[in-house]
Each structure stands twice: as structure tokens, then as C-alpha cells.
């Protein structure tokens, strides 16, 4: 809802207040209006007409924010607190006080980070991390859900909430009838002297096939706080790429393939990402961070059958933080470990929509089968004793039913086993 008001000039209002004039006594001279002020919905509101408390950041706001890091997209969302949000490396996030806290470094799993439906590993690396090592220009929508509602399709441990990031599609840059589109964006941020260049190629040679290619490069020097003091350790260099292909087989069937990669190379930097002021206690390192997400998806959604909205996916996630020491005062394995987490999984889920009495139902059922392999190999070839390692084979079944009862009540029971 939008409300428009005509507001008189401030000087007129001030005189009326000082003289004790009532609204009936106030006469507004013609021509002294300052214009029309439009009061719209807050960009930082929490949706109250949904089954879960949710904040959605759409493309218009993403363009307006011009964030340097993904963390900066989240820094004003209600109930969200960032840890080291000025850099993509080592950033962490908590919701309602759960998540990134001292000693946890985004590894407790209470907040799920999901990119195009693929969940990040959130593995522990002492005073390092890569959970938010993502280029914000890749995304067209960011959704933050507080609490476990809706997150069981990805994880049973995300009690704090779920952050879902959706990448751009070719159709976002193609108008009706267009077969080709190219966008070149150049930007510069004075705080940190940060230049940005992104290139997007979108094409659709037929009505059935579309493709998007994205490549971006961003660099930043150390930033300054509001007092003009330098924030140490906030410099970085990042490259990103996205390939997304989609083929509409018929009116109901669609294939989609996507691959996204973010890379952050660092040379002779502080090992301790979270508090560079105590650098001497940890030493300096060369560090390479890589985050890759890929999936192949088949969707079947016939228009004449509301009981079938089926998706089958093969998906892959790779998160690597490779560290080599430049100076290692305590000769610890922390400064020479290659931390790698790889997850392969197959996910099949269906949403059935139906009406029972006066209750509208969206009934989601799903099955996930996967393997997550985690290692932290040091120079001797063994696993770092300061970081967990191993293999997790899992099978998960999840069920959720969003029940709309009348016009004012929504009940969403959910379970993941």
C-alpha cells in the first residue's frame, strides 16, 4: 500500500506551531507546496502475509544497494548480524543470535546458506572461512527466512534460519522477441578504491532454449570506517563466473544446467581474517579461496494437474580454502593446510496443491541422497588435527505442508529425517 501526502513548506509549518494555530486556522499560500511525498513499503520490512517471517531483497534493491560483498546485502535485514561483513573471505552471519559467534566461525550449521537450491557446507576453519565468498552481482534475489520454517528441505539443523540466493537468468535480460542481449557494467567505489567490471551475455536462438554467460572482476583496498580510520584486512581481489543453460522440452518439461564459481586469491596476508589487529600471534599466509556450485535439473509441471510439480536434481558443491605459510612463528599446521569440502547429492521433490474443505494445501515431499567429503590436508599428507575431516553418506526424507486456513491463519508442519 502506498500513501501520498501533499506537505507544505517547513517554514509555514514552523510558524503555525509557534503561534499555536490549529489545523482549521492554517492557510497555505498557493504555490508554497514542496511537492508530493510518496511513502511506500519499507525495504527492510518482514513479510507478515506469509507462513514464515521472511525478508526478500529483489533486483531493484540489489541494484540500488551496489554492495561490494554479499555480506553487505544482508547487513540491514532485521535480526541478521554479520561477522566480518566487509570482505567475502571469512565472513559469517547469524540470525536471532544463532550462527556466527566467537569460536564457531559459521560452522555450527544453525544458519543455512543456499545458492540456487544448493546448500553450502559451512565447515569449520579456525579464524578463516568461505561461507559468504560470493559475488553479489551474480544474484537477482536474496531471501532471508527466520527460524526453521521452510528450511527443512535443505537441512534439519538450521534452527536460526535460511538465506537463499537466486542467480540471474537469461530471460531477465531478454524482452519479448529478443534473441540476443549484452550488458557491460563498470563501477567504482571510493571507500576502498574498489573498481568493478561485469559482463553478461544472454541469448535465446529459439523459443525453447536460452543461455546466460556471466564474468566479473572486483578489487578493493582497505576500507575506512565512519571515523576515517583504516580497517585492516579488508582488501581483496575476486573473480566470478556463471553459466546457465535452459531448454524447454515441451509445455511441462524443462532442463536446466548451471555452474557458478567464485575465486579469491590472496598473497602475503594475515592468517587471522576475523581480527587482523592480532596478526603477530598467527603469522602471514598465501591463501586461495574457491567456491563452486553446479546442478543439472529436470522439472515437470503440467498445467492441467495441480498435484504434480516435480523437480529432480543432480547437484555439486565445492568449497576450498588452500593456505600456505609466509611467516609461521609457532610452526603450526593451521598455516599450511588445504581445506576442501565436496558434496554430491541427488534431490527429488514434488509439490502438490489441493483444497480440503476450507483449507488450501501446498504439500511438499522430497528425498535427498548424498555424500559429503571433508579434508584438511597438511604438508605431511595427514589431516590437520585442528580441523574436522571425514566422509558423510546420508539419506534424507523431508515433508512439509503449508496449510492456508481461511484468510488469516497459515499452519506449516514440517519434518526432515
Are 10 and 81 contained in the same domain?
no
For residue 336, give the 3-state DSSP assignment: helix
Are 235 and 379 contained in the same domain?
yes
Helix (H) or strand (E) holding 82: strand 80-83
Are 333 and 364 contained in the same domain?
yes
Task: Say how many domains are in the chain.
Answer: 2
Instruction: Look at phi and psi of residue 229 and say left if phi exceeds 0, alpha if psi is from -120 to 50, else beta.
Output: beta
**pLDDT tens for the chain, residues 1 to 417:** 333 333 323 333 232 333 344 444 445 455 555 444 444 455 555 555 555 688 999 999 999 888 899 988 888 898 888 877 778 887 788 888 887 765 555 567 788 899 999 998 767 788 887 788 899 999 999 999 998 877 889 988 888 899 999 999 999 999 887 899 999 999 999 988 999 999 999 999 999 999 999 999 999 999 888 898 888 888 999 999 999 999 999 989 999 999 999 999 999 988 888 776 666 678 899 999 999 999 999 999 999 999 999 999 999 999 999 999 999 888 888 889 999 999 999 999 999 999 988 899 999 999 999 999 999 999 888 888 878 789 999 999 999 999 999 888 888 899 999
Are 295 and 169 contained in the same domain?
yes
Say which DSSP state 138 is in.
Answer: G
Helix (H) or strand (E) holding 63: helix 59-65
- Per the DSSP assignment, residues forming a β-bridge with 39 are 3
Cβ atoms of 196 and 217 closer than 8 Å: yes
Cβ atoms of 260 and 294 closer than 8 Å: yes
Closest CA to 315 of 367, 355, 370, 247: 370
Are 28 and 47 contained in the same domain?
no
Q: What is the pLDDT of residue 93?
A: 85
Instruction: Look at phi and psi of residue 177 and say left if phi exceeds 0, alpha if psi is from -120 to 50, else beta.
Output: left
Are 2 and 53 contained in the same domain?
no
Are 167 and 244 contained in the same domain?
yes
Instruction: Look at phi and psi of residue 205 and say left if phi exceeds 0, alpha if psi is from -120 to 50, else beta.
Output: alpha
Give the β-pairing of 111-115 and 161-167.
parallel
Are 102 and 245 contained in the same domain?
yes
Residues near 256 by Cβ (< 8 Å), separated by ≥ 6? 244, 245, 246, 247, 295, 296, 297, 299
* pTM score: 0.83
Residues near 17 by Cβ (< 8 Å), separated by ≥ 6? none
What CATH number does residue 323 fall under? 2.170.130.10
Residues near 399 by Cβ (< 8 Å), separated by ≥ 6? 363, 364, 365, 366, 414, 415, 416
- For 283, the domain range is 41-416
Are 149 and 35 contained in the same domain?
no
Backbone angles phi, psi at 110, to 5 degrees: -75, -15
Are 26 and 61 contained in the same domain?
no
Are 36 and 159 contained in the same domain?
no
Cβ atoms of 314 and 339 closer than 8 Å: no
Are 261 and 282 contained in the same domain?
yes
Amino acid at each position: 500500500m502506498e500513501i501520498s501526502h501533499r506537505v507544505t513548506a517547513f517554514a509555514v509549518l514552523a510558524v503555525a506551531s509557534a503561534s499555536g494555530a490549529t489545523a482549521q486556522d492554517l492557510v497555505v499560500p498557493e504555490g508554497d507546496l514542496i511537492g508530493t511525498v510518496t511513502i511506500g513499503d519499507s525495504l527492510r520490512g518482514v513479510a507478515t502475509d506469509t507462513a514464515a517471517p521472511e525478508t526478500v531483497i529483489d533486483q531493484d534493491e540489489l541494484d540500488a544497494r551496489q554492495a561490494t560483498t554479499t555480506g553487505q546485502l544482508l547487513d540491514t535485514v532485521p535480526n541478521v548480524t554479520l561477522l566480518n561483513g566487509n570482505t567475502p573471505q571469512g565472513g559469517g552471519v547469524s540470525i536471532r543470535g544463532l550462527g556466527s559467534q566467537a569460536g564457531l566461525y559459521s560452522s555450527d550449521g544453525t544458519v543455512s546458506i543456499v545458492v540456487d537450491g544448493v546448500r553450502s557446507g559451512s565447515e569449520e576453519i579456525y579464524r578463516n572461512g568461505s561461507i559468504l565468498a560470493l559475488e553479489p552481482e551474480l544474484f537477482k534475489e536474496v531471501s532471508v527466512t527466520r527460524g526453521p520454517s521452510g528450511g527443512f528441505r535443505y537441512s534439519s539443523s538450521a534452527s536460526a534460519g535460511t538465506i537463499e540466493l537466486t542467480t540471474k537468468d537469461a530471460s531477465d535480460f531478454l524482452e519479448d522477441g529478443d534473441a540476443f542481449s549484452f550488458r557491460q557494467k563498470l563501477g567504482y567505489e571510493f571507500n576502498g578504491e574498489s573498481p568493478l567490471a561485469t559482463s553478461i551475455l544472454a541469448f535465446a536462438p529459439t523459443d525453447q532454449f536460452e543461455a546466460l554467460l556471466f564474468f566479473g572482476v572486483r578489487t578493493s583496498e582497505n576500507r575506512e570506517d565512519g571515523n576515517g580510520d583504516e580497517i585492516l584486512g579488508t582488501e581483496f581481489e575476486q573473480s566470478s563466473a556463471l553459466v546457465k543453460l535452459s531448454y524447454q522440452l515441451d509445455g511441462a518439461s524443462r532442463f536446466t544446467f548451471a555452474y557458478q564459481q567464485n575465486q579469491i586469491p590472496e598473497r602475503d596476508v594475515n592468517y587471522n581474517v576475523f581480527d587482523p589487529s592480532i596478526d603477530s600471534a598467527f603469522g602471514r599466509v598465501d591463501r586461495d579461496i574457491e567456491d563452486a556450485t553446479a546442478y543439472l535439473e529436470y522439472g515437470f509441471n503440467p498445467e492441467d494437474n495441480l498435484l504434480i510439480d516435480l523437480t529432480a536434481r543432480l547437484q555439486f558443491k565445492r568449497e576450498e580454502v588452500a593456505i600456505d605459510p609466509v611467516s609461521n612463528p609457532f610452526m603450526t599446521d593451521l598455516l599450511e593446510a588445504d581445506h576442501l569440502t565436496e558434496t554430491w547429492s541427488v534431490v527429488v521433490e514434488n509439490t502438490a496443491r489441493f483444497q480440503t474443505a476450507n483449507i488450501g494445501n501446498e504439500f511438499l515431499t522430497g528425498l535427498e541422497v548424498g555424500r559429503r567429503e571433508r579434508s584438511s590436508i597438511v604438508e605431511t599428507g595427514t589431516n590437520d588435527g585442528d580441523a574436522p575431516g571425514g566422509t558423510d553418506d546420508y539419506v534424507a526424507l523431508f515433508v512439509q505442508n503449508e496449510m492456508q486456513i481461511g484468510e488469516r491463519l497459515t499452519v506449516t508442519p514440517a519434518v526432515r529425517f
